[in-house]
Structure 1
Amino acid sequence: MRPYILKEASWKNLKTDRFELAILPWGATEAHNYHMPYGTDVYEADAVAEESGRKAWEKGANIIVLPTIPFGVNTGQSDIYLDMNLNPSTQLAILRDLIEVLNRQGLKKLLIVNSHGGNDFKTMLRELGLSFPEMLLFTCNWFQALDKTKYFEEMGDHADEMETSLIMHLQPHLVSPLEEAGDGSEKKSVIIGLREKWAWAERKWSEVTEDTGIGNPKKASAEKGKAYFEDVTDKVAELMIEICHVQPGQLYK
């Protein structure tokens, strides 16, 4: 058993063990092109949180990794079969309940390790911070932690070369041959502000992409995925360590 993984812990240890930081991995269940599993974001959340947690734990960080929440915001994919959606208001309610548990039991720091682009926890944590002023609440998007151009040739944001490479490394038996994958072509908005990314509207996924991917996965490899995974979990582990060490009232200098 890994003592920093809650789903593996027993009451024998948890009667006395106490932690400085709770880690909440949060994924999604959705189509990932033709070659990747619906659970891609869940497998990534599991792996990134647990491996980063291991690295942080071995450097002395007193963390506990909670079980991954497998459903995310998929409001733009309502017509794609079995893309499972949690509304943001539902996520807020889930977070409130979980933070209430942590706060009541004296665990005053939470980091959400987000694995899905449709999830956005910033506004929720603003609101929850008012309700739980003693808590230090953090969120991170691990997939934005590194410059992906140093690892991959084709950029995208869903079932692309990066995600495909990562799952080829983590769960190779779940990735179909790349010749079966779509090319991840993305139709661009006719509205200039949306193309320039200073304006925003939710993408209607089935109108933007034919294969549900955005980004060409054809150059993916397990070797690329392994290199990226090692570096991104190093980066996330450092974040966990820093949050463990920081104290209320000492976040700024």
Structure 2
Amino acid sequence: MRPYILAETNWKTVKETNYSVAVLPWGATEAHNYHLPYATDIIESECIAAESARIAWEQGAKVIVLPAIPFGVNTGQADIKLDININPSTQLILLTDIVETLSRQGIYKLVILNSHGGNDFKPILRELGLKFPKMYISLCNWFQNSENKHFFDEVGDHAGEMETSLMMHLRPQWVLPLSEAGDGAEKKHKITEFTQGWMWAERQWSKVTADTGIGNPKRATAEKGERYFKYITEKIGNVLVQIEKLDVENPYA
């Protein structure tokens, strides 16, 4: 039993522990090229949250990891078989209930550990911040860390080298041989401005990629995944410690 994982612990432990930071892993259920499982985002969010919490817990931070949310916003993948979509409005309803529960029970700090690019939580968190002024809600999109490029030859956007390496480390038994994977080639928008980050339209997934992947996974290795997992969990774990200690009434230097 890990006392910082809610799904594993019990009422006896929970009753006696004053948790101060909750971590909510949030993934998606979707195709990841031909070689990775539909649960890739869920596994990444669960494993990164658990290891980060362990690191924080061993430094004295009273962190509790909630069960992962397995469904994400997949509106651009409506025609990909069994990609399960929940709308942003559904996310708001679900997250509102979770935040209300935490606030009522005196756990005022929440970190959403997001593993799916289609989950855009910022507008939701802005709204919840007004509804629950005691709550300090933050978001971790670990896959956007600026140091990722130092661990991989080609990070990739979806089921590429980074995600494949992580899964080869975390769940090797669920990864098909790389010979089975597509090359993750991505078609770019015909209007250049949509590729520059300041204009946006939702990608229609089946028109952008032939194999549901974006990013070449062929150079992925379990060793790369292990090194990166150690790096990102240590980084997040140390941030969790800082969040626990943070005076939310005076968070700026």
Asked if 2 retains the 8 angstrom alpha-carbon contact of 1:108 and 1:134, the reply is: yes
Match of residue 211 from structure 2 = 211
Match of residue 28 from structure 2 = 28
CA distance in 2, matches of 1:154, 1:250: 40
**Structure 2 segments unaligned to the other structure (5+ residues):** none
- Match of 1:64, SS state, is strand
Match of residue 49 from structure 1 = 49
| Segment drifting more, 11-20 vs 185-194 | 11-20
Which residue identity does 2:100 align to in structure 1? Answer: E
CA distance in 1, matches of 2:48, 2:26: 11
Note the alpha carbon deviations across 1:86-114, whole angstroms, 9 max, x for none.
10000000000000000001111100000
Match of residue 66 from structure 2 = 66
Structure 1 position 249, deviation (Å): 1.1
Note the alpha carbon deviations across 1:140-191, whole angstroms, 9 max, x for none.
1011224222111123110000000000000000000001100000000001
Match of residue 140 from structure 2 = 140
CA distance in 2, matches of 1:15, 1:129: 27
CA distance in 1, matches of 2:120, 2:181: 28
In the alignment, is residue 94 of structure 1 matched against residue 94 of structure 2?
yes
Note the alpha carbon deviations across 1:19-57, whole angstroms, 9 max, x for none.
110000000000000000000000000100000000010
Structure 1 position 230, deviation (Å): 0.2
- Match of 2:210, SS state, is coil
The number of equivalent residue pairs is 253
Match of residue 190 from structure 2 = 190
Which residue identity does 1:3 align to in structure 2? Answer: P
Structure 1 position 197, deviation (Å): 1.8
Q: Kindly report which structure 2 residues correspond to 1:107-122, keeping only aligned pairs within 5 A, or say none.
A: 107-122=107-122
CA distance in 2, matches of 1:69, 1:83: 15
Q: CA RMSD in A?
A: 0.8
Structure 1 position 210, deviation (Å): 0.2
CA distance in 1, matches of 2:155, 2:54: 29
CA distance in 2, matches of 1:149, 1:26: 23
CA distance in 2, matches of 1:52, 1:189: 37
CA distance in 1, matches of 2:190, 2:49: 38
Note the alpha carbon deviations across 1:65-95, whole angstroms, 9 max, x for none.
0000000000000000000011000000000
Structure 1-normalised TM-score? 0.98
Identity in percent: 59
CA distance in 2, matches of 1:244, 1:213: 37
Match of residue 82 from structure 1 = 82
Structure 1 position 16, deviation (Å): 2.2
Match of residue 103 from structure 1 = 103
Asked if 2 retains the 8 angstrom alpha-carbon contact of 1:145 and 1:235, the reply is: no
- Match of 2:7, SS state, is helix
- Match of 1:81, SS state, is coil
Where do 4+ consecutive residues of structure 1 move more than 4 Å? none
Match of residue 248 from structure 1 = 248
Which residue identity does 1:226 align to in structure 2? Answer: E
Structure 2-normalised TM-score? 0.98
Match of residue 160 from structure 1 = 160
| Segment drifting more, 243-252 vs 145-154 | 145-154
Match of residue 5 from structure 2 = 5
Which residue identity does 2:238 align to in structure 1? Answer: E
Which residue identity does 2:183 align to in structure 1? Answer: D
Match of residue 221 from structure 1 = 221
